[in-house]
Chains A and B, each alone.
Chain A
Amino acid sequence: MAKPARLAAQGLAVALVVGLLALLVWRVANDNGKGVAQALEDGAHPTAPAFDLPRLDGRGRIDLASLRGKKPIVLDFWASWCVPCIHESKRLEVARKEYGDRVAFIGVDTKDFSSDARQWQKKHGITYPSVHDGSGSVLTKWGGLPIPRIFFVARSGKVVGELIVEEDLPRYLQQIAAS
């Protein structure tokens, strides 16, 4: 092979390897691991990852970042195929009536069919607004499957905790309502 051609081939091979390495570094750098859930488990209180998703009821969108500094938030990740989600969402519905406007309750319907999700809300009497996260990309940032996953966000935008046991709900609600 002629020298210029050999040099070009070697340059191409090096560029290819460097490109693949850069891709790997980018992937590792953007890998949130288990996201917010893992951070909470490690004792941290991260700022709630922002999202801007369409509402299931078709009434515009919900931008989570726009609520920062204004209201504490309860974030409920659910899907219509998730049987345990029924129980948890119903508990949140009761809590929403108790707390009224002091806390924003937001559902995130994830990896789900939106028409099924709307029927599910109607069937189980869930009235707090939900957004549609069909691809599950928002859920991934918060910790991924399994669902239900329920997070409590203080007025400042910091995530204070995740519901693990039943008693967490009144405890965290009081905490964020006072924030």
Chain B
Amino acid sequence: MKRLFPFVLLALLLAPAARASERHPSLAELEGEVMCPVCETTLDQSSSPAAQQIKRVITNRIAAGDTKTQIKDRLVAEYGDAILAAPPHKGFGLLAWWLPVVGILIAAVVVGIGARRWARAREPTPVGPPLDPALEQRLDDELRRFEG
């Protein structure tokens, strides 16, 4: 439980900021989350007339008090899902969200199994039967004499 504490704390600290961003979005943050329909980049990287048009619409909707979700829904209704930089959390879009997670999990399992096998392979193989005590004593004596 103690291990989870920093994550819970972080989530609690970030929650009000996320709520504020949802209620009072800024043009700058939405520019990074919305695509320019004619240039295949996000709005913040485009100054094309089509991008300028969407920026103007977003500015107007922010001034009208729309939430981030309402603004995004309005854009999706006009341009389709492809107007959002991130895929939607539904239908085929779910695949884009979960496939990397599943891939990482599979990779972690494969690496874990591989590491376990490698560690096993490195364990010292047991040597033959112990030496005869007399022979071992003689070997020690010989070595001592050789070093001395």
Q: How large, as a class, is the contact surface on chain B?
A: 10 to 19
A-B contact number at CB 8 A: 34
Chain B interface SS verdict (over half): helix
**Is B79's CB under 8 angstroms from A79's CB?**
no
How far, in whole Å, are A57 and B76 apart by their CA atoms in the complex?
A: 20
Q: Which residue of A lies closest to B113 (CB)?
A: A1
Residues A94-115 near B (CB distance < 8 A): 111-114
**Is B53's CB under 8 angstroms from A81's CB?**
yes
Chain A interface SS verdict (over half): loop
Q: Contacts of B38 on A, CB cut-off 8 Å?
A: 111, 145
**Is A135's CB under 8 angstroms from B79's CB?**
yes
**Is B78's CB under 8 angstroms from A134's CB?**
yes
Residues A62-81 near B (CB distance < 8 A): 79-81
Q: Which residue of A lies closest to B75 (CB)?
A: A113
- Cross-chain pairs A/B with CB under 8 angstroms, 22 sampled: A1-B113, A79-B50, A81-B48, A81-B49, A81-B50, A81-B52, A81-B53, A83-B49, A111-B37, A112-B78, A113-B53, A113-B57, A114-B78, A116-B53, A116-B57, A134-B79, A134-B80, A135-B79, A135-B80, A135-B82, A137-B80, A145-B38
